[in-house]
Amino acid sequence: MAYYCSRCNKYWNYQVKRCIFCGQDLLSQHSKEYRVLGYTQVNIPSKGNEKVPYYVYLIEDENNVKKLMKSTIEYNIGDRVDFELDRKSSILIGIVGIGSMGLQIAEYFLSYGFNVHLKTRNSDKIVSIYERIQKNLSKKYTSDDVRKILDRCQITTEYLDLKGCDLIIDASSEDFDIKESIFREISEIKKENAIIATNSSSISIDKLAAVTKMPEKCIGMHFFNPVRKMSLIEVIIGEKTSNDVIDTIFAVAKSIDKEPIVIRNSPGFVVNRLLLPQINEAIRLLEQNVANKESIDSAVKLGLNHPMGPFELADYIGLDICISILNELHIELESEFYKPANLLKTLVGEGKLGIKTGEGFYNYK
Amino acid sequence: MYISGVGRTKFGNLSDNLQELAYEAILNALDDSNLDINEIGAIFVSNFLSGPLNGQLHLNSMISSLIPGINIPIIRVETACASSSVAFNQAIYCLQNYSNILIVGVEKMTGVGLLPTTDAISMAGDRTYDFPNGLIFPAAYALIAQQYMLKNNINHDILELVSYINHQNSRLNPLAHFYYKEVSKEMIKNAPMIASPLNLFDCSPISDGAVAVILSKNKTSDRDVKVMSSKIATDTISLTERINLTSFIATKIASKQAYKEAQITPADLDIIEIHDCFTISELIALEDLGICGASEVSELIKNGDILRDGPFPVNTDGGLKANGHPIGATGLAQIFEIVAQLRQETEKRQVDNPEIGLAQNIGGIGGTCGITILGV
């Protein structure tokens, strides 16, 4: 976007309304296509550009208006690129299940220029979901930008409204029956080439894929909480997941500045398989009175350099989720080692689920 | 008008704070002159980043605290890396009202970590469109370097040579940031990449330091140096608003005006201080200042013409690369070096009988340029 005075033949990058030389109203020119004039690969981080290396491209449009564009994709001098309508924004994202993770994933994709369709079960919630997204975006963007971003967002209760989506991500609660029915419904309405992904942290992608018509289009795409801050995406590939689908998910993940890793379908994948036994063992240490919870948290933070201790993290994740993942590991891996500690069962039984209920291992009231 | 006193601190990673640095430079300049503080009518203080990096603004009042009870007019000037040559220029315009004006440039940059410093320095460029697209300062000059190298069909070797020459010069300047550092051509070649094609040795360091200069209406001693001209010019803050990416028009305009006022040509220069915040800007400046024609820059440097004993000695103090770049003091450090050279007081790095010197000090990506021409 540039502002142009046809009489004086002058351009402004900054948003100005009238020409300072002749007083004429300026034309705002939208660029259609850009050509790469030059680039640099930057290796040192700065605020807002913490992830390195990245490229900065100096690009020029058909009116010789220049601008800079940051990207992780490699282009050469002279390449024609359509940054305004980058291929990523031409991908339509569908998200099913608008809990905390679904909402965060939606906001994240929106902030990267994607069009996003959200599917919720309850029509009463549409307004409140919209308002929550608006409120969260307002922390980072101006009201004008928020309006533009929200133009790319649709909320619906009908699966049919997701039929144009290229990638549909299930972000529903960690319940096999719910996810199975979502996969079955999506399978009925989706485009032939569309990918069905699930944000599940533990449920087998093979079992979910089995209920669809195209298991090769099914994949796991496990985001971490908070989505904005955590760079990792565990990409879970099932027995039948096709290579094209894996490549597409990798490209999408990279285009939103995430680091995808490939994981064969297996209980708990990598992160939870490592994390939950640690949390469980921390609870056993507490039960055996080896150390108090504050000391165990300090030991992990200061001795292992983790940003949070196991009790803080368990409360943050939610103890109900911790127990359900441990149960899954316990059953699937057939080992007593993964059996949830008694204290964890007790707290969940008392409804003390962590931060979300105001009390877990620690009290947040 | 004359420069009747100069003083500076060592440049580098120093333990002194903003006030201590400024005070030392002011004291040294007064000691160097025949004047005492009561004869100073006004002060210009030049600084770029005391707000974001030191959390201190209202620097003119801070300077007032260093000279208690004097209560003279003091004003702060900020034009990014060109702050101090612009402060010097503005002092000249005020000199009709005072006999002597002191200009002090000061910058305290170390001790806050790399990320806040990189972020703060990027404030010299556009923060609305460019910085959100990852354009930190080295990246801006890297884009220019790429364009320049393609246009003139040169490779990184010539930039390495510029870096090497500046480091060699700094080994003769005890106040330079890298006075202590033996730098080899291999070190420069193999340095880590910062923003391709620029590596660590293409970039000037983050330095602390201060310089003070006293400007006098009348001659005060035989050591005084004549101010022949001081001109400033500006250009857009972003590279994206420029047609020519391998030349800084502000340098061309200001230098042309300065040559005219001083009634000299580039060939008359005996010593030159160039703003080599990145090695590439030294190449661009040699052309923009008219030292040589387009496409002759490589030859000029390879021939040894910019060495201390060559026809156009450049950056005898080590330049920004090796003398250091305490941003708000840099332009005055260049003036300090020219004054010292013209007075023939630089000992080991003395150029043979220089009579006229020029300093080119730029801000941002050439968005400001201050040109100073001094003579004896």
Model confidence band, residue A213 (pLDDT cutoffs 50, 70, 90):
very high
List the single residue in A37, A47, A56 with the smallest CB-CB distance to B133. Answer: A56
The yes-or-no verdict on residue A8 having pLDDT over 90 is yes
**Which of B292, B237, B207 is CA-nearest to residue B21?**
B207
3-class secondary structure for A214-252? CHHHEEEEECCCCCCCCCEEEEEECCCCCHHHHHHHHHH
Cα(B219)–Cα(B253) distance, integer angstroms: 30
User: How crowded is the C-beta side of A207, counted as CA atoms within 13 Å?
Assistant: 13
| Three-class SS state of B315 | coil
Q: Does A41 touch chain B (CB under 8 A)?
A: yes
Name the active-site residue from A172, A204, A272, A280: A272
**Which of B366, B150, B120 is CA-nearest to residue B241?**
B366
Residue A66 to residue B239, Cβ atoms within 8 A: yes
The yes-or-no verdict on residue A34 having pLDDT over 50 is yes
pTM: 0.76
The yes-or-no verdict on residue A31 having pLDDT over 80 is no
Residue B241 to residue A66, Cβ atoms within 8 A: yes
Q: Does B246 touch chain A (CB under 8 A)?
A: no
Tokens of A36: 């790469």
Question: In sequence order, which ranges of A31-175 are alpha helices (DSSP H)?
Answer: 100-111, 126-138, 143-151
Burial of B274 (0-12, 13-18, 19+ CB in 10 A): buried
Q: Give pLDDT, residue A143.
A: 87
DSSP letters spanning B259-303: HHHHT--GGG-SEEE---SBHHHHHHHHHHTTSS-TT-HHHHHHT
Q: Give pLDDT, residue A63.
A: 86
Cα(B10)–Cα(B180) distance, integer angstroms: 12
Task: To the nearest 10°, report the CA torsion of B335, B337, B338, B344.
Answer: 150
Provide the shortest C-alpha distance from residue B129 to chain A (in Å).
Answer: 8
Best of A13, A68, A140, A141 to mutate (most B CBs within 10 Å, chain B): A68
Tell me the per-residue pLDDT of A308-333, one tens digit each, with 9 for 90 and over.
Answer: 999 999 999 999 999 989 998 999 99
Residue of B nearest to A48 (CA): B132
Residue A47 to residue B130, Cβ atoms within 8 A: no
Chains A–B, number of C-beta pairs less than 8 Å apart: 93
List the single residue in B114, B126, B143 with the smallest CB-CB distance to A56. Answer: B143
Burial B351-367 (b: 16+ CB within 10 A, else e): beebebbbbbbbbbbbb
As a whole number, the mean pLDDT across chain A is 92
Q: Is A272 a catalytic residue?
A: yes
Best of B147, B194, B236, B240 to mutate (most A CBs within 10 Å, chain A): B240
Residue B118 to residue A40, Cβ atoms within 8 A: no
Distance of CA A66 to the CA centre of its chain: 31
Residues in A touching B193 (Cβ below 8 Å): 41, 43
Most confident of A15-19, A138-142, B188-192: B188-192
List the single residue in B194, B239, B245 with the smallest CB-CB distance to A43. Answer: B194
The vertex-A291 CA angle with A285 and A292, nearest 5°, equals 100
Residues in B touching A44 (Cβ below 8 Å): 114, 118, 136, 138, 194-195
| Three-class SS state of A32 | coil
Residue A278 · residue A284 · CB < 8 Å: no
Residue B136 to residue A44, Cβ atoms within 8 A: yes
Q: Does A46 touch chain B (CB under 8 A)?
A: yes
Tell me the per-residue pLDDT of B107-165, one tens digit each, with 9 for 90 and over.
Answer: 999 999 889 999 999 999 999 999 999 999 999 999 999 999 999 999 999 999 999 99
Tell me the per-residue pLDDT of B207-257, one tens digit each, with 9 for 90 and over.
Answer: 999 999 999 999 999 999 999 999 999 999 999 999 999 999 999 999 999
The yes-or-no verdict on residue A88 having pLDDT over 70 is no
For the four alpha carbons of A275, A280, A281 and A287, in that order, the dihedral sign comes to: positive
The yes-or-no verdict on residue A87 having pLDDT over 60 is no
Non-local CB neighbours of B359 within 8 Å, separated by 6+ positions: B85, B272, B273, B331, B334, B335, B337, B338, B370, B371, B372, B374
Name the active-site residue from A136, A202, A222, A265: A222
Q: Is A192 a catalytic residue?
A: no
Q: Give pLDDT, residue A83.
A: 60
**Which of B171, B175, B362, B205 is CA-nearest to residue B284?**
B362
Tell me the per-residue pLDDT of B287-335, one tens digit each, with 9 for 90 and over.
Answer: 999 999 888 999 999 999 999 999 999 999 999 999 999 999 999 999 9
The yes-or-no verdict on residue A244 having pLDDT over 70 is yes
Residues in A touching B240 (Cβ below 8 Å): 13, 58, 65-68
Tokens of B99: 């006999």
Residue bearing the bigger pLDDT, B267 or A112: B267
Non-local CB neighbours of A168 within 8 Å, separated by 6+ positions: A93, A94, A95, A96, A162, A186, A190, A194, A195, A196, A197
Provide the shortest C-alpha distance from residue A64 to chain B (in Å).
Answer: 9
Tokens of A268: 């708990």
Tokens of B201: 């040795």
Q: Which CATH number fits domain B2-112+207-216: 3.40.47.10, 3.40.50.12160, 3.40.50.150, 3.10.450.50?
A: 3.40.47.10
Residues in A touching B130 (Cβ below 8 Å): 68
Residues in B touching A67 (Cβ below 8 Å): 129, 133, 240
Residues in B touching A63 (Cβ below 8 Å): none
Residue of B nearest to A50 (CA): B115
Tell me the per-residue pLDDT of A146-175, one tens digit each, with 9 for 90 and over.
Answer: 988 898 999 999 999 999 999 999 999 888
Model confidence band, residue A77 (pLDDT cutoffs 50, 70, 90):
very high
| Three-class SS state of B151 | helix
Residue B115 to residue A38, Cβ atoms within 8 A: no
Q: Does A16 touch chain B (CB under 8 A)?
A: no
User: Pairing relation of β-strands A195-198 and A167-170?
Assistant: parallel
Percentage of chain A beyond pLDDT 90 is 74
Q: Give pLDDT, residue A82.
A: 66
Structural domains in chain A plus CATH codes: 1-30 (no CATH), 34-86 (no CATH), 92-264 (3.40.50.720), 271-357 (1.10.1040.10)
Provide the shortest C-alpha distance from residue A269 to chain B (in Å).
Answer: 34
For the four alpha carbons of A185, A186, A187 and A191, in that order, the dihedral sign comes to: positive
Q: Give pLDDT, residue A86.
A: 47
Kindly list the catalytic residues of B.
Answer: 81, 325
Residue A66 to residue B142, Cβ atoms within 8 A: no
DSSP state of A127: H
Residue A182 · residue A172 · CB < 8 Å: yes
Distance of CA B306 to the CA centre of its chain: 17
Q: Does A75 touch chain B (CB under 8 A)?
A: no
Q: Average pLDDT for residues A16-30, to the nearest whole number?
A: 92
Q: Does A76 touch chain B (CB under 8 A)?
A: no
Cα(A285)–Cα(A279) distance, integer angstroms: 10
Tell me the per-residue pLDDT of B162-213, one tens digit each, with 9 for 90 and over.
Answer: 999 999 999 999 999 999 999 999 999 999 999 999 999 999 999 999 999 9
Q: Give pLDDT, residue A283.
A: 97
